[in-house]
Structure 1
Amino acid sequence: MSSATTTAEESVDARPRRSLGAIAVRVLLPALTFVVLIGLWWVATIVFGWPSYIVPTPLEVWQEMSDQRSILASNFRTTLWEALLGFGLAIAIAIPSAVAIAYSRTLELTVYPALVALNAIPKIAIAPLLVIWMGFGAGPKIVMVVLICFFPIVISTATGLKATPAEIAELSRSLSTSTLQDFLRFRFPWSLPYVFVGLKVAIALAVIGAVVGEFVGATKGLGYVIVASGQNANTTLAFAAIVLLSLMSIVLYYAVSLLERVLVPWAEET
């Protein structure tokens, strides 16, 4: 009895250690990867003898970020706001659309092919038209983010809703649930892992969409900083903006991943 109790206590004590170990691996391995990439970048500038106006060193980029922190911070907030607002609007439009497609065979046969065709249009080709229609404000950038994020969210959500196991659907029918109850209790919770797959893809694309819109026509934002830096031959500032865009994408992606772990804890175990 004493041996069994000791074993149980050791098992309980081991769980926090395994959890901390898993967290350490999740944090240390990506951090190590970034350190290696920065090191390779630095070595490449030395080996190939690239001058600073072509490829600056990481130290020069860091110094530029420090010197221009107020300008970069202001434009960082602009791009972040455009990406998040467009991402939120894409969710608000895409998830109801996916529900309609999943529950209507007619819509699936009519609307779905049209969505695939529209998604095949290069979004960069639409960006100049958005500027003509909406001007140089935030509107074209937000619409571009919505257009880029919409399709992956629709696809993943519709797939998740249609992938409900037969036994769960049979359980729902046996309980005589209404369509709304079936959706809220069974189908939508089951589809959440699929939904978050689309959200994680879309959040990275959201930053790309905002920058594409800023490339075409903008007066602020990190995309505008990159374009202006190219025109002024300030490669170091352009690299600083690119680094900030990368950090933005990484933070947003892991924020969505953390939200998934909180809302759908069973997804990773499955």
Structure 2
Amino acid sequence: MTDTTSTRPRPRRKKILVVSAHPEPRSLNAALTDFAVGHLRAAGHEVKVSDLYAMKWKAAVDADDIPDHAADQRLDILAAQERATLAGRLSADVTAEQDKVRWSDAVVLQFPMWWFSVPAILKGWIDRVFTNGFAHGPAVPPPYGEDGALGGRRALLSMTIGARESAFSDRGVHGNLTDVLHPLQHGVLWFTGMAPLEPFAVYGTVDLPEERFAAVLREYGRRLDGLFTDEPVPFRALVGGDYGRDMRLLPGVEAPGAGGLGIHVRPRGA
């Protein structure tokens, strides 16, 4: 019998950073991290892992991130981050994570959805690693475009959600998942120039039967196989004619009937 599990051609060897954020090493998130690492390596890719809880990652931005900051001076975070970033004088843990991002062709964020967002430790990774002068700011290319500071990279959000899928649907009580994830997909990944793929979400994870887990792994493997071939979310670029100088979408650019956050996504094929 012919194996038809994947019809995609295998891409050339790539470098992938997997950032994992769950405190329990026997959790579903840990299992998904292990699966992703093994699956990607089996496909011939290089993989690095940042297991934030195992690393005892410090979530809070403070003066310790900027060793040269004088204790008697007011800490202007953005200005201090930019000076330290451009001078190569950030703390060693932040510098190491930035080096991993620079090294990567794609970044996978693995996390449980807590209070409609990422765990604090992962938010702290973003806050501390995506510094002014590295991921955004006047010293790097403009935001919201593939030529941004971290452009040329793919990004995939992989998450577990305790609620049922219908609760995150168009009429679901929790809101549409696309809208819930807009601050991450658009405001973090696309803002810095990464090309975000449609997220991979596992719902109803409070009690996940073994047969469903097997199906989850099959689907996740398919998504990982498409990490460099699937079409990313077609967010609009800030530079290119869709937005005015006030950073507002120009009237009539959106598709008829479009509204809400969806106006910042181009229709597929447009």
TM-score, with length taken from structure 2:
0.29
Quick check: which one's strand share is greater?
A: 2
TM-score, with length taken from structure 1:
0.29
Query: Which protein shows a greater Rg?
Result: 1
Quick check: which one's helix share is greater?
A: 1
